[in-house]
Amino acid sequence: MSLISGWGRFPKAECKIVSARTQADVEAAIATAALIARGNGRAYGDAAMNRGQTLAMTGMDRMLSFEDGVLVAEAGVLLADIIHTLLPRGWFPMVTPGTKYVSLGGAIAADVHGKNHHLDGSFRSCVDWVDVMGPDGTVTRATPGDDLFDWTLGGMGLTGVILRAQIRLRKVETMYIAQETRALTSLQDTLDAFAETQDAPYSVAWIDCSDGPHHGHTLLLLGRHATLEDLPSRWRPFDVRQKRKLPVPFGAPPFLFRGLWLRALTGIYWRRGAKRAGHALVDWDSYFYPLDALSNWNRLYGRNGFLQFQCALPEEASAAGLAELMDTIAASQTGSVLSVLKRFGSQSGHFSFPMPGYTLALDFPASERSLELMSRLDEITLAHGGRFYLAKDARMPEAVAKADPRAKAYAAMRKQAGLTDRFTSMQSERLGL
């Protein structure tokens, strides 16, 4: 038994870890007992935890073939590995979340989204097929259009174990991003700016929710892959070296995450960003994965860990919904240090998280106060027709999850297909999936 947790370090539980290095290992594990597959543990909560059997997949990390941007690889390979291998050859993932330390299987199971969702959709848009091992050990190759494909992408590991997949990468001329930063001072300005920059390939906003929607200081970061012509003449287009990661040795004092201190911190962040507003060329790592530079920044929140709240709101309800969320957070003074606001485009799939509109991601220190605040945020989200991201969830009550009619359909399908007694996680049990 090992004491494990998701990235938020909450909740923690003693789980039996079993490692898979080959397909035969997976088959043996499925035959033994109910389980959940675990990638690199970057989901925040309990999605990849099962006390009886948690199947560690990072040992299945072989890249099987690569040609003309088409990669076949095992589910345990990390995006970081793919980038370090293929970026020097001019290829970059079509869709990437905010950390490169996710496994291919984890990216597929959560159907992750990136800063380009409004144009390119979620991870599924680059997946040609996935091999999924079912409850009896049979392997099915699911392709877009299959029900199994639609349930697996966004299904949080509950349709079976993803063994390998074929994905398409994007051809890039350089490893740089041409970035434009805009400093804004309210939610409305931010939404207007998002609307005006629809065509920017990548966009994301860091928004200060501790001040309410009318003073929500924001840095909007727009980006596109730089071409050879964009580069100063002496720069080399690809120079992919592992950067040293800075460890975070101990937790910061909790008072930093409250009231005035928090405002001071976010204020400093905004002013620093605002001063540098404008155009810049930044490398892929700093643009896409600023947080990865700190190897274990999740420890910043101290021993109790932290909770994420990420919801999506439909287009028409976004402005009102976001304003209400921000008002409530500001009033609570239990703020999120840095909140992330992104635009979502259209979405297909049976149970994936994104919907056309906006998504707001917040983090809070794990505490009673935060849990209370988050229940209020749940209500506001549901009142505006929104939904929640399971990869970030660690505490939702079943009723809230089931307010999404797709959750009931998923649970019914799982039952009917005989998946409920082989593939379960602490999360699926908590949410009745």
Partner 1 sequence: MSGPVLILGAASGIARAVARSFAEAGHPIQLAARNSARLEEDAADLRTRYGVEVTLHDFDALTLDSHAAFVEGLPVLPEVAVCAVGAMGEQAQSEADPQAAAHVMRSNFEGPASVLAHLANAMEARGSGSIVGISSVAGDRGRASNYVYGSAKAGFTAFLSGLRNRLAKKGVHVVTVLPGFVRTAMLDGMDTPGPLTAEPAEVGAAVLKAVEKQKNVIYTRPIWGVVMAVIRNIPEPVFKKTSL
Binding residues for ligand FAD, rule: CB under 6 A, are 7, 36-43, 47-48, 57, 75, 97-99, 102-103, 105-107, 109-110, 112-113, 156-157, 161-162, 291, 391, 425
**Using CA atoms, how far apart are residues 223 and 201, in angstroms rounded to an integer?**
6
- Closest contact distance (angstroms) between CB of 280 and ligand FAD is 21
Which CB, 58 or 181, lies closer to partner 1? 58
Tokens of 412: 């019914």
- Closest contact distance (angstroms) between CB of 55 and partner 1 is 11
- Closest contact distance (angstroms) between CB of 16 and partner 1 is 7
- Closest contact distance (angstroms) between CB of 52 and partner 1 is 13
Instruction: Return the one option of ligand FAD, partner 1, none that residue 36 interacts with (CB less than 5 to 8 A, by type).
Output: ligand FAD
CB atoms within 10 A of CB 51: 17
8-state DSSP, 272: H
Which CB, 63 or 340, lies closer to partner 1? 63
Instruction: Return the one option of partner 1, ligand FAD, none that residue 318 interacts with (CB less than 5 to 8 A, by type).
Output: none
Cα three-residue angle 310-372-269, rounded to 5 degrees? 50
**Using CA atoms, how far apart are residues 425 and 49, in angstroms rounded to an integer?**
5
- Closest contact distance (angstroms) between CB of 173 and partner 1 is 21
- Closest contact distance (angstroms) between CB of 66 and partner 1 is 5
Instruction: Return the one option of ligand FAD, partner 1, none that residue 41 interacts with (CB less than 5 to 8 A, by type).
Output: ligand FAD
User: In the Cβ-directed half-sphere of 316, how many Cα atoms lie within 13 Å?
Assistant: 2
**Using CA atoms, how far apart are residues 370 and 332, in angstroms rounded to an integer?**
9
Instruction: Return the one option of ligand FAD, partner 1, none that residue 42 interacts with (CB less than 5 to 8 A, by type).
Output: ligand FAD
Instruction: Return the one option of partner 1, ligand FAD, none that residue 37 interacts with (CB less than 5 to 8 A, by type).
Output: ligand FAD
CB atoms within 10 A of CB 356: 17
Instruction: Return the one option of ligand FAD, partner 1, none that residue 170 interacts with (CB less than 5 to 8 A, by type).
Output: none
Which CB, 20 or 373, lies closer to partner 1? 20
Yes or no: say if 280 and 391 are a contact pair by the CB < 8 Å rule: no
Identify the bridge partners of residue 170 per DSSP, sorted by sequence position: 92
Q: What is the CA radius of gyration of the chain?
A: 21
- Closest contact distance (angstroms) between CB of 305 and ligand FAD is 13
The residues near 36 (Cβ < 8 Å, ≥ 6 apart) are 47, 48, 49, 50, 53, 54, 55, 157, 158, 423, 424, 425, 428
Which CB, 61 or 327, lies closer to partner 1? 61
Q: Which positions touch partner 1 (CB under 8 A)?
A: 1-3, 16-19, 21-22, 25, 59, 62-66, 74, 85
Instruction: Return the one option of partner 1, ligand FAD, none that residue 43 interacts with (CB less than 5 to 8 A, by type).
Output: ligand FAD
Yes or no: say if 314 and 125 are a contact pair by the CB < 8 Å rule: no
The residues near 163 (Cβ < 8 Å, ≥ 6 apart) are 23, 26, 60, 74, 75, 131, 132, 133, 139
Instruction: Return the one option of ligand FAD, partner 1, none that residue 213 interacts with (CB less than 5 to 8 A, by type).
Output: none
**Using CA atoms, how far apart are residues 34 and 18, in angstroms rounded to an integer?**
12
Identify the bridge partners of residue 14 per DSSP, sorted by sequence position: 3
Which CB, 274 or 417, lies closer to ligand FAD? 417
Q: What is the β-pairing status of strands 339-344 and 357-365?
A: antiparallel
Helical pair 318-332 and 368-383, crossing angle rounded to 10 deg: 160
8-state DSSP, 22: S
- Closest contact distance (angstroms) between CB of 397 and ligand FAD is 19
Instruction: Return the one option of partner 1, ligand FAD, none that residue 127 interacts with (CB less than 5 to 8 A, by type).
Output: none
Instruction: Return the one option of ligand FAD, partner 1, none that residue 411 interacts with (CB less than 5 to 8 A, by type).
Output: none
Which CB, 2 or 348, lies closer to partner 1? 2
Which CB, 3 or 195, lies closer to partner 1? 3
Task: List strand residue ranges (DSSP E) for 138-217, in order.
Answer: 139-142, 161-171, 176-184, 202-207
Which CB, 62 or 415, lies closer to partner 1? 62
Which CB, 93 or 98, lies closer to partner 1? 93
Which CB, 47 or 330, lies closer to ligand FAD? 47
Yes or no: say if 26 and 133 are a contact pair by the CB < 8 Å rule: yes
- Closest contact distance (angstroms) between CB of 15 and ligand FAD is 12
